Structure formats: structure tokens, C-alpha cells
Amino acid sequence: MTQHWGDILITGAAGTIGTILAPALSEDGHVICLDVVEPSPGSPASRDVRGDVGDRELLRRCLEPGGAVVHLATGVSRGWEGLLAVDMLGTRNVLDAAAQIGVRRVILASTNHVVGGFELDYFRRGLVPGPGTDAANILVRPTDPIRPDSEYGAAKAFGEGYGRFIAETTETAVTCLRIGTVAPVDNPAAYATSPEFAHIPGGAEGAGRRLRATWLYHADLLRIVREELFASDHFRLRFAVSDNPGRFWSLDTYRWNPQ
């Protein structure tokens, strides 16, 4: 028998991950899409809301007791001010409102950049973790210390910490997903020459190797989010990555439950 949610609020719903998830999750419940941009024609949402996660009252109106939140909104494109406003204060608003309303679970979109320092160790030596290099022996686990590689990674680390606080002190369960590489075209080879990955050593070959290791295919993204929606642990932390050749992030899930 298929399980169903009531309301599932997706913040940052107009982004790449939101547009992948919203149509599929509409099969699991009533999807509410929240974003600062106008919804696209043909949106699969039961309800489209224009606004941002800085508006606490709006968040409360979008939430349902016993429902769920998939929190994807980020201000990374606006630099530190955006990270502070959205990824830190906005994430706090989402988690506080969810706990006050009695939301069952919040899934936070964190990032592999929370532990990107491990990968930077290899980059500094001109190596790329992934298939075909000795660096593929690295395996970062969800219980390893945080090592942010950027302001973005540090801001997401705050979200993980605040999520753990909410899980430990309220009835709302929290999942943190350290998401790998997701793109509209579900093929890592399509992005090997993208300027976004030009910092990776080894040019297009190095970028392609890294992308093949860190890719999160759309089907796996949906599978992982659904696993988290229906999980029973009160706090969960995992890397959201496909089981790729050369993968250097563990597929283990860290779990915590109240005594």
C-alpha cells in the first residue's frame, strides 16, 4: 500500500532540484511550491506561493501539522549576504516554523561542501578524487568532522547544526542531505567543460572524472528524498550521491533517536 503525506512544502521550488522533485512528489501528497520567482506555466504544485523564507508568517501559512518540508532555498548567488539571509536565517525560520506548527519532518538540502576540505587536500596536490586515481581511496563518512571549503559550506554547516538542535528539542524530525552534483541534463559528460567546474585540476578530463564520481542521478535524488520522507529516525544525515565508480562519499546514514 502506498503511503501518502498531507502537504509537502518545497522551498526554492523553481530551482533545478525543485523542478525535478515537485512533479514526482505530487504523487505523494499536496505539493506547495514556494519561491521568490513566479511559478512556471504548467506547475504540478497543488499550490504555488511567491515569497521567501525570510517571511515567518508566510511560512506558517504554508505549513500543515503532520506535513513535511523539503527546504531547497539558497541565497548562494548573492554571496555572503544571500547565504546569511537565506541559508542561515531563512533555514532557522523554516525549522522554527516547522516545529511550532508540528511538521513531521524537514529535509534540509545541505551540501558536500560542508566537508569539502577533504577533497581540497587532493586538489592542492593536483589530484582529483574519482575513477582512475589513487585519490579514489578517500571515503568521507557522515560522522567525519565538518571541513567547509567555502562560505557556502560553512553556511550549510550552520543549517545542519540548527537542524540537529530542532530534532533534539522538538517533535519535528530532521534530515540533512549533503547533495552531490545535480544538473538539468542528467549526464555528467555534458558538464565536463562547464566554467562552473574549471577549478578542478586536470581540465575537462579531471572535471569529467570528478563529475562521474559525485553525480546524483535524478532517479536516485527522488528515491533518497522519498526514503527520508518516510524514515522513522528523528535525525538523519547522509550524502545524497549515486553509487558511482570512484565515489568518495560514504553511502552510510547517520541516525539519532531520543533515548
Model confidence pLDDT, tens digit, residues 175-207: 999 999 999 999 999 999 999 999 899 999 999
What is the structure's pLDDT at 97?
Answer: 98
What is the structure's pLDDT at 101?
Answer: 97
40: pLDDT confidence band, cut at 50, 70 and 90?
Answer: low
Average pLDDT over residues 124-153: 84
Percent of the chain at pLDDT > 70 equals 93
11 pLDDT exceeds 80? Answer: yes
What is the structure's pLDDT at 3?
Answer: 58
The residue ranges of every structural domain in the chain are 7-116+143-192+216-239
What is the structure's pLDDT at 38?
Answer: 78
Mean of the per-residue pLDDT values of the chain: 92
128: pLDDT confidence band, cut at 50, 70 and 90?
Answer: confident
What is the structure's pLDDT at 122?
Answer: 84
What is the structure's pLDDT at 126?
Answer: 81
Would you list the DSSP string of the chain? -----SEEEEETTTSHHHHHHHHHHTTTSEEEEEESSPPPTT---SEEEE--TT-HHHHHHH--TT-EEEE----GGGHHHHIIIIIIIIHHHHHHHHHHHT-SEEEEEEEGGGGHHHHHHHHTTT---STTSGGGG--B-TTSPP--SSHHHHHHHHHHHHHHHHHHHSS-EEEEEEE-B--SSS-GGGGTT-GGGTTSTTHHHHHHHHHHHHB--HHHHHHHHHHHHT---SEEEEEE----TT--B---EEEE---
12 pLDDT exceeds 50? Answer: yes
Cα–Cα distance for residue pair 28/11, rounded to 1 Å: 17
Q: Are strands 68-71 and 7-11 parallel, antiparallel or unpaired?
A: parallel
29: pLDDT confidence band, cut at 50, 70 and 90?
Answer: confident
Would you list the DSSP string of 10-21? EETTTSHHHHHH
45 pLDDT exceeds 70? Answer: no
What is the structure's pLDDT at 1?
Answer: 36
What is the structure's pLDDT at 5?
Answer: 65
What is the structure's pLDDT at 28?
Answer: 78
Higher per-residue confidence, 56 vs 45? 56
Average pLDDT over residues 144-158: 97
What is the structure's pLDDT at 4?
Answer: 64
Percent of the chain at pLDDT > 90 equals 80
Average pLDDT over residues 162-182: 98
pLDDT tens for each residue of 222-250: 999 999 999 999 999 999 999 998 899 99
Architecture, CATH, for domain 7-116+143-192+216-239: 3-Layer(aba) Sandwich (3.40)
Cα–Cα distance for residue pair 142/120, rounded to 1 Å: 17
What is the structure's pLDDT at 138?
Answer: 75
109: pLDDT confidence band, cut at 50, 70 and 90?
Answer: very high
